[in-house]
């Protein structure tokens, strides 16, 4: 294979570095290059040696690292974070690479397109390696976000793997159906549940095409339930604070010897008593909403036992009654309507628990046929693992404390169970891993999709829009590159096996970088001296 220009230049640079008193003829004889070629390469080396560190890029190791640096910047910043080519060009010039690499915005855009093409080729290579393996099923979710045209996003919620992410002209059932993933096969990938914000097109798709039940999204349901009362409380608190500050300013301007009128005195006393009452009502409102959220789980918070629809409805009576009482003062008909709508959605929210229960029992039967073991897993192990995962996921201090207490309460009967002490360490660890995997499958919100929509919004704003091709590239990066704290990608979590590192795979296809273009308008080194000599 003939040597590239860069490799021939490295030959010349290596020889010069070890033979300081070398001539063009000597170098040509040692390297096998033509003397004119050696001369051109020496001139190129001279142009590139502008900074103290420049000589390092001429070595094989240094240039290999330079390729990694440039491709990594284009990949991580230009593609993953939508940083513009002009900013990347300024960065490369700031670290003195303009003499080593083509750093113009145009050259970097072309390089970015090459990297994107390699990302698409990577996905095609993984697809050609074989169809997705048979899976135990998934728990899906879907939503739309709008950037001119709607972007349809469908995701396997537990793994975060994007099943569909495409810009469509409409968001009808037919449009969703058209963009189902090609490898979808209900016989190998059954959909046990589908979470959504109640869009009719997605509900129809979940029931008719995916074969799973449709569940109301707890995230959206709680938001819609609390918004009218919360807004009314906040608005009234702000008005009272404003009125009290204005009246206090008037009182301060009044001479001290002039007594307040009875009307103003009564107004001042009333404005002093309203903030504590509003704060108490706000606390009651937050406590009631938190109680609703804590109830919408497959296990009861007070005791480590399963909770189905009837028990859930009973547990929700008290907090919903509190919200109904607050709605008479704050929010009015709008708040009452929100509470009624939430109560109507309860069967759809509890559908998630009823869909997860048979999935758990079916998978458990595949693991063990012993009734004692199955009862131990269902009644002792899973409650502790579920609440432990909830405590780890949540960021709110109050919720984390409640979940941690629930996990602690569930741990006591687990330790007290005779089977816990009878199992070997290896078997116990195997059941814990299986239980953790099973608990991640239950998803009551589509917040993962909301997070993805927010990420797309940042890309859309930074890049001033994106094309169908760039959206496809971002989808591949999400599936095969973004990692959770445990180091796994969405594809690895869904399919159960690792994939080649996306960045390293792309980097391996690049051995050379675009060379800097020498401007014809650049000053010649001895031009001024030549002009003086001729004069």
| CA distance readout (Å), 12 to 23, 28, 40, 72, 106 | 11, 9, 10, 28, 30
Ordered by start, the domain boundaries in the chain are 5-129+511-521, 138-217+446-489
Selected residue with higher pLDDT from 94 and 9:
94
For tokens 């929100």, name the residue. 338
Average pLDDT, the chain: 84
- What tokens does 254 get? 């009044």
Determine how β-strand 213-216 pairs with β-strand 191-196. Answer: parallel
Lowest mean pLDDT of 279-283, 455-459, 473-477, name the range: 455-459
Q: Looking at residue 483, what DSSP letter applies?
A: B
DSSP element (H, E) containing 253: helix 218-253
Q: Which residue has the higher pLDDT, 62 or 262?
A: 62
For residue 465, name the pLDDT band (cuts at 50, 70, 90).
Answer: confident
**What number of other Cβ atoms are within 10 A of residue 428's Cβ?**
15
pLDDT at 495: 87
Centroid of chain to Cα 416: 39
349-363 confidence digits (pLDDT tens) = 888 888 899 899 999
Residue 388 has pLDDT above 90, yes or no: yes
Higher pLDDT, 189 or 87: 87
Residue identified by tokens 């190791």 is 61
Tokens describing residue 122: 């990577």
Check if the beta carbon of residue 204 is closer than 8 Å to that of residue 305: no
Residue 186, Cβ neighbours under 10 Å: how many?
12
By C-alpha distance, which of 152, 177, 150 is closest to 166?
152
Q: Give, in order, the Cα–Cα distances in Å from 94 to each of 48, 82, 98, 125, 198.
A: 15, 20, 9, 37, 51
Please give the pLDDT value at position 269.
77
For residues 155 and 162, the answer to whether their CB atoms sit within 8 Å is yes
Residue 155 has pLDDT above 80, yes or no: yes
**Average pLDDT estimate for 478-503:** 93
Which residues lie closer than 8 Å to 357 by C-beta, 6 or more apart?
298, 306, 308
Q: Which of 154, 142, 144, 195 is nearest to 442 (CA)?
A: 195
Answer whether CATH 3.40.50.300 is correct for domain 138-217+446-489.
no
Task: Report the alpha-carbon distance of residue 309 to residue 311 in Å, rounded.
Answer: 6
pLDDT of 254 higher than 90: no
Q: Is 356 exposed, middle or buried (0-12, 13-18, 19+ CB in 10 A)?
A: buried
- What pLDDT does residue 100 have? 84
Helix axes 382-393, 397-416, angle to 10 degrees: 160
Which of these, 89, 206, 200, lies nearest to 138 by C-alpha position?
A: 206
Distance, CA of 490 to CA of 67 (rounded, Å)? 28
**Closest-CA residue to 334 (of 235, 237, 230):** 230
User: What average pLDDT does range 123-152 have in this prediction?
Assistant: 81
What pTM was computed for the model?
Answer: 0.80
Q: Alpha carbon 478 to chain centroid distance?
A: 8
| DSSP conformation letters of 302-368 | SSSSB--HHHHHHHHHHHHHHHHHHHTTTTHHHHHHHHHHHHHHHHHHHHHHHHHHHHHHHHHHHH-
> How far is residue 426 from each of residues 240, 439, 479, measured CA to CA in Å?
63, 20, 32
Instruction: Return d(Cα 327, Cα 333) in angstroms, integer.
Output: 8
Q: Is there a contact between 17 and 24 (Cβ–Cβ < 8 Å)?
A: no
Burial status of residue 352 (CB atoms within 10 A of its CB: 0-12, 13-18, 19 or more)? buried
**Whole-number Å distance between alpha carbons of 291 and 222:** 11
The region of weakest confidence among 191-195, 420-424, 452-456, 523-527 is 523-527
Tell me the C-alpha distance between 194 and 402, whole Å. 27
What's residue 129's pLDDT? 65
Q: Which two tokens stand for residue 229?
A: 């009362």
Q: Give the C-alpha separation, 127 to 132, whole Å.
A: 8
147: CB partners within 8 A, 6+ apart? 167, 456, 457, 460, 465, 466
362-398 exposure pattern, b = at least 16 Cβ within 10 A, e = fewer? eebeeeeeeeebbebbbbbbbbbbbbbbbbeebeeee
CA distance 93 to 99: 9
């Amino acid at each position: 294979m003939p040597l590239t220009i860069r490799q021939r230049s490295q030959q010349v640079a290596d020889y010069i570095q070890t033979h300081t008193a070398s001539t063009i003829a000597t170098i040509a004889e040692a390297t096998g290059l033509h003397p004119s070629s050696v001369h051109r390469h020496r001139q190129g080396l001279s142009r590139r040696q502008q900074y103290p560190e420049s000589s390092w890029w001429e070595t094989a190791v240094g240039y290999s690292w330079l390729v990694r640096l440039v491709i990594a910047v284009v990949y991580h910043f230009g593609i993953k974070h939508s940083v513009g080519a002009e900013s990347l060009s300024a960065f490369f010039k700031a670290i003195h690479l303009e003499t080593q690499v083509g750093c113009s915005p145009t050259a970097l855009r072309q390089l970015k397109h090459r990297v994107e093409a390699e990302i698409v080729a990577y996905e095609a290579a993984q697809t050609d390696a074989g169809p997705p393996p048979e899976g135990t099923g998934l728990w899906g979710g879907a939503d739309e976000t709008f950037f001119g045209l709607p972007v349809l996003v469908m995701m396997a919620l537990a793994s975060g793997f994007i099943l569909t992410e495409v810009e469509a002209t409409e968001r009808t059932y037919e449009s969703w159906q058209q963009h189902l993933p090609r490898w979808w096969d209900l016989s190998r990938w059954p959909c046990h549940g589908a979470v959504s914000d109640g869009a009719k097109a997605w509900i129809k798709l979940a029931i008719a095409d995916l074969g799973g039940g449709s569940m109301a999204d707890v995230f959206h349901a709680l938001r819609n339930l609390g918004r009218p009362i919360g807004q009314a409380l906040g608005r009234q608190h702000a008005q009272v604070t404003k009125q009290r500050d204005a009246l206090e300013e008037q009182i301060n301007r009044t001479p001290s010897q002039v007594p307040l009128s009875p009307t103003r005195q009564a107004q001042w006393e009333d404005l002093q008593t309203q903030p504590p009452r509003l704060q108490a009502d706000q606390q009651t409102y937050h406590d009631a909403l938190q109680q609703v959220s804590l109830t919408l789980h497959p296990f009861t918070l007070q005791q480590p036992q399963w909770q189905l629809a009837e028990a859930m409805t009973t547990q929700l009576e008290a907090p919903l009654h509190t919200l109904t009482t607050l709605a008479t003062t704050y929010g009015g008909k709008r708040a009452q309507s929100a509470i009624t709508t939430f109560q109507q959605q309860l069967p759809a929210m509890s559908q998630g628990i009823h869909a997860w229960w048979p999935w758990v029992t079916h998978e458990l039967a595949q693991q063990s046929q012993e009734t004692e073991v199955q009862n131990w897993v269902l009644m002792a192990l899973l409650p502790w693992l579920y609440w432990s995962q909830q405590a780890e996921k949540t960021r709110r201090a109050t919720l984390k404390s409640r979940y941690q207490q629930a996990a602690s309460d569930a741990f006591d009967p687990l330790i007290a169970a005779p089977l816990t002490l009878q199992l070997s360490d290896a078997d116990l660890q195997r059941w814990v891993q299986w239980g953790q995997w099973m608990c991640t499958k239950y998803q009551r919100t589509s917040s993962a999709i909301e997070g993805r929509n927010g990420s797309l919004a940042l890309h859309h704003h930074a890049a001033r829009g994106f094309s169908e091709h760039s959206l496809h590239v971002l989808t591949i990066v999400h599936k095969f590159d973004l990692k959770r704290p445990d180091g796994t990608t969405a594809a690895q979590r869904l399919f159960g096996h690792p994939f080649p590192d996306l960045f390293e795979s792309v980097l391996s296809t690049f051995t050379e970088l675009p060379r800097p273009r020498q401007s014809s308008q650049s000053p010649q080194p001895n031009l001024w001296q030549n002009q003086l000599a001729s004069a």
